[in-house]
Structure 1
């Protein structure tokens, strides 16, 4: 009876694809691969065949018959020296070549040492067989997967350093004006870093914002052309109005509140508005 060939693929027993959008590398969990096994490589994958640490081949899309050098080791020779087991151990490592998302969040500090939050999203992919080799050779693997979350851990310090290099020299209100510079610096440093692992950077999107909600409100008011003191007054007036404090309009225009004589207060507010 002809032997049934072992099929190696990224499909689970129920036919579901194992390598989702959050999986960069998948190590096929069975290293008892024999001569004649069928290796299936999907259109958005690379596959790397290893034997005892040595890389034997890199496969692109298609189905391949694995040719291993374990055939000559047969009979008494194999039984005597290796206890009936082949000395060759084979591994198949699948590389996801689709565009995957790398996301990093953190904290930077402005020139005034105000806390600025940032969120960076990048699209990366493995472009060629040579890049797949770099990834297998340089990216540590614990278990059978390398997730994009693990790649984020590597990229995080590079992104943090790039953003802080500009933000720490910039006033809080001017950080958004320098976003093009920030993006270019992140791209430059990140691509240089990722190329060691065979990853190509496609695009970078970033958001930098004040972490303090009050600072967000004040900057929004300043965007309307208000001076710093006017922005503080209007912000305070909004808080007072939310709490039902009747002197909130007086705070907004910077005038005193007259208790017990509403007509005087109204005349005073009218005078101030006429000046503007």
Structure 2
């Protein structure tokens, strides 16, 4: 029986799990475990010992398997058999996912069935090497990144479909809004997926949605987008249904006004004027009216004074500023003792 002195990883770079090709070794062998690797000793289909990154000399002190099953005396260097699996724990960050078929979802806002598609990317790493080996690898001599992607492609797609539909329904968001809230949806779905990956000893390193959309050639999508576009145009012009109907009525009334004449025409014209005034009020709001400035007169001769005059152009008397009531602010004439508007006594 050959004795192998050094046990090290010699598998392909894409391998997540690689089985050391020989099962015969001795208790003095050197075990080399690289960075982000875990070496697992298996005997009879059962996991016994795990070694993290480092270099080890296998003996009864650090390999309980030797005492448990082989029963070697302390310090003895004797041959034994076991399987050694290397598990790579590096992160895999470029796994693509997507809905294989559109999600037939009833839009919570528009109440129509919308076929939604979603695409994105996620990353994983092995968190529990022993559980990962038991659940996914078994007795295989190698397990690659491609094997993992193929295994989880359908499972992840199905999970994301269910979680995405549930999130959109729970949040009451339209399919248009969903595409604008990708970050929020990604965070919610990532939490649910982590619970799923825990069963395989896998940690979800990253998850994000890159696109949520609906097929442009779907009849329902085309009709809904056309409707939304028309409504947006009406909103931009500050129209609503009632206003559009008013313009239609005014148009018919104008035709009648041009043909009938007489008092009937006057009545229609008045109605049109009132309707137009109401439309202007709705669209522009209340327009403040400008009050004309009150005229000023000379207290000496009574002649009107031009704006800003300091002396009367008729008699040359200096213009005295009118006193104002402290209570209501109304202008008062010189010599007045009480306000003509509110009746309050004026300050001397």
TM over 0.5: yes
CA contact (8 A) 1:110 1:167 kept: no
Report the counterpart of residue 13 of structure 2 in structure 1. 19
Which structure has more relative contact order (CA 8 Å, sep 6+)? It is 1
Kindly report which structure 2 residues correspond to 1:1-276, keeping only aligned pairs within 5 A, or say none: 5-12=4-11, 18-20=12-14, 23-67=15-59, 69=66, 70=70, 89-101=81-93, 102-106=95-99, 107-111=102-106, 112-127=112-127, 131-141=128-138, 143-146=140-143, 147-149=147-149, 150-167=151-168, 170-210=173-213, 212-214=215-217, 226-227=229-230
Question: By how many angstroms is 1:140 displaced?
Answer: 4.3
- Partners in 1 of 2:139 and 2:45 — Cα distance? 15
Gaps (5+ residues) in structure 2? Answer: 60-64, 74-78, 107-111, 234-348
Q: Which has the larger radius of gyration?
A: 2
Secondary structure of residue in 2 paired with 1:5: coil
**Deviation string, structure 1 residues 113-168 (Cα, Å, up to 9, x no partner):** 333222231222234xxx22232233344632333312444433322221222346
TM norm structure 2: 0.48
Number of aligned residues? 202
Instruction: Give the direction of change, closer, same or farther, for the CA distance of 1:11–1:206 in structure 2 (3 Å limit).
Output: same
**Deviation string, structure 1 residues 79-132 (Cα, Å, up to 9, x no partner):** xxxxxxx8x6411122211111343221423323333222231222234xxx22
**Deviation string, structure 1 residues 205-257 (Cα, Å, up to 9, x no partner):** 11233352447xx89xx79x942698xxxxxxxxxxxxxxxxxxxxxxxxxxx
- Partners in 1 of 2:16 and 2:189 — Cα distance? 22
**Deviation string, structure 1 residues 162-220 (Cα, Å, up to 9, x no partner):** 122234665332221332342122111111111222222222111233352447xx89x
Report the counterpart of residue 276 of structure 2 in structure 1. none
- Partners in 2 of 1:25 and 1:211 — Cα distance? 39
Secondary structure of residue in 2 paired with 1:98: coil
CA contact (8 A) 2:187 2:208 kept: no
Secondary structure of residue in 2 paired with 1:118: strand
- Partners in 1 of 2:31 and 2:152 — Cα distance? 27
**Deviation string, structure 1 residues 53-103 (Cα, Å, up to 9, x no partner):** 222211111122334635859xxxxxxxxxxxx8x6411122211111343
- Partners in 2 of 1:113 and 1:30 — Cα distance? 59
Q: CA RMSD in A?
A: 3.6
TM norm structure 1: 0.59
Secondary structure of residue in 1 paired with 2:10: coil
Gaps (5+ residues) in structure 1? Answer: 13-17, 74-85, 231-276
Secondary structure of residue in 2 paired with 1:94: strand
Instruction: Give the direction of change, closer, same or farther, for the CA distance of 1:10–1:99 in structure 2 (3 Å limit).
Output: same
- Partners in 2 of 1:32 and 1:154 — Cα distance? 38
Secondary structure of residue in 2 paired with 1:133: helix
Runs of 4+ in 1 over 4 A off after TM superposition: 70-73, 167-170
**Deviation string, structure 1 residues 5-56 (Cα, Å, up to 9, x no partner):** 34332225xxxxx132xx4322333333443333221112111111112222
